[in-house]
Structure 1
Amino acid sequence: MKPHAEVEQVWPRDGRIRVTGRLLGLDEARERSWRLTLTRRSRTDHVLRYDAVLDGERFAGEFKVSELAFQEALSGAEQWDLHLTDGTHKLRVGRKLDDIRGKKAIMIYPVQPVPGADFGVQPYFTVEDNLSLECRP
């Protein structure tokens, strides 16, 4: 299996989303500075970056859902993909090692309303068991 960021927990609550897990397949991971990145699918030049804390191979990162607000009005759903990056590696955040297939229909996370906006943010697993976010009016 190629290197990736294996999700262990997703905590959507109190206007924040926290993701914890393990970096797998990289021996030199501890020696680097890592960031949790959110990339908007419809505009891949729109990337949000947050510090990720590493403890050995374990990582943790979080962000406020209000930071997903953008200038143009949200007319439909927008998706964001999560990665861990260190300037050299870009690892997709997902959950592959738990033997649960089809997480998209099984693991349903609560929607976090965005304060002062007319949309909410919901983490979800894709059909490939990667972690993404959906912003919906």
Structure 2
Amino acid sequence: MGLQQVRPHAEMGEVWPRDGRIRLVGRIHGVPADGTWQLLLTRRARAGQTLRYDADVKGDRFESELPVADLTASDPAPVEEWDIHLTDGEVELRAGRHLDDVRGKKKIFVYPEQRTGDLRVRPYYTIKDNLSLECRTGGSA
């Protein structure tokens, strides 16, 4: 099985969910890393609802973090999903992990959840090995 051509994306290296924050570290893959970049979260259920956070970029390496309390919605569904991108205002790069030989990360990488009020937040990999956030309201799963 040969290595496929990988589209430009934000290649995740580290995901640190703790202390009420989620810290993300990775590399910009496939496009120049010039300019000012931001972490962009898009709420799947409400496509127009986004959150933005500054990203520190040095060379092609980026680092950003977000407080999980920001994911508390005024109109929450029992389960919400937020997709993660990195953007410079012109290009949006989906956050994911594609440059390794591990497929099916959804079942392999399991991150701890954090609580903020009635909300439980957990990073997870999708079936396409992209990184998203899952938010659940209510008691334990």
TM over 0.5: yes
The answer on 1:17 being equivalent to 2:22 is yes
The answer on 1:46 being equivalent to 2:62 is no
C-alpha distance in 1, partners of 2:135/2:57?
A: 28
C-alpha distance in 2, partners of 1:3/1:75?
A: 32
The match for 1:91 is 93
Unaligned runs of 5+ in 2: 1-5
C-alpha distance in 2, partners of 1:32/1:16?
A: 25
The match for 2:79 is 77
C-alpha distance in 2, partners of 1:46/1:75?
A: 14
Q: For residue 126 of structure 1, report the CA deviation from its aligned partner.
A: 0.1
Q: For residue 71 of structure 1, report the CA deviation from its aligned partner.
A: 1.1
Amino acid at match of 2:68: V
Among 58, 63, 66, the residue aligned to 2:66: 63
C-alpha distance in 2, partners of 1:22/1:100?
A: 17
Q: For residue 100 of structure 1, report the CA deviation from its aligned partner.
A: 0.6
The match for 2:3 is none
C-alpha distance in 2, partners of 1:122/1:49?
A: 18
C-alpha distance in 1, partners of 2:44/2:20?
A: 22
The match for 2:12 is 7
TM-score (normalised: structure 2) = 0.91
Give the aligned length: 132
The match for 1:126 is 126
